[in-house]
Amino acid sequence: MLRSLAALVLLVCTSALVTPSLHAQAPIRIVGRLEAINGPTICNQRLTHRLECTRVYLVSRAVDLSLWTGQIVDLQGVDRGLLCTVIDVTSIQPAGGTLTLSGTPALGSPITFTLDAGGINFHAALLGNGPLYMPFDLSLGTLCIAPPLYLLGSGVGGGPLQFTLVVPVDPTLVGYEAYVQSLHQAIGPVGPPLFGNPVCFTIR
């Protein structure tokens, strides 16, 4: 199963480079932590929320997004952006798979990643090269980190799965912005893989 996840990551990298943009033509599924917008944006639209660690903005007449602020959510909608990616949310629910981190992103310090999806799952945490917006289908969801992708950690868990990495003591890493996204796949019974939420941090 881990080999299949690795193959999926390779497929994602290839697709992110060659897939034409069809974002506005089909429903989109994306997982992320909801943040309220406290100020103007460059999008030339009236916006209320965005997804953490992305350039994805949100509006909705069907859902009260304010009730979900601060939560990691699994949402669907349609991209109606003009100058930016702006998803008009049509449905929202708590995310089934989540990624959180703790620790201080400083040289020589440990950072702990926690992956959770309930039940028995394969989990993977992927490091990307900045933010990205690449929707696939309503099964796989949306890739939010840019290739090349690197596998930070993976495993099987019947509950939260944790792993800890120590930031190398390398002065050239100071100021580096890291973007990490989770990938989850249920194995009891086997279900399709789904991209979880991205997290990001700056090494200091």
Q: Domain-by-domain residue ranges, the chain?
A: 16-94, 96-202
151, HSE (Cβ side, Cα atoms, 13 Å) = 14
Rounded Cα gap, residues 202 and 204, in angstroms: 6
96-202 placed in CATH 3.40.50.2300: no
Per-residue pLDDT of the chain (204 residues; tens, 9 = 90+): 445 454 555 555 444 444 444 455 689 999 999 999 877 777 767 788 999 999 999 999 999 999 999 999 999 999 988 889 999 999 999 999 999 999 999 999 999 999 998 888 999 999 999 999 999 999 999 999 999 999 999 999 888 999 999 999 999 999 999 999 999 999 877 889 999 999 999 999
Global confidence as pTM: 0.87
> Which residues, other chains included, contact 113 with Cβ-Cβ below 8 Å and sequence gap of 6+?
99, 100, 101, 125, 152, 153, 162, 163, 164, 165, 180
Rounded Cα gap, residues 35 and 132, in angstroms: 17
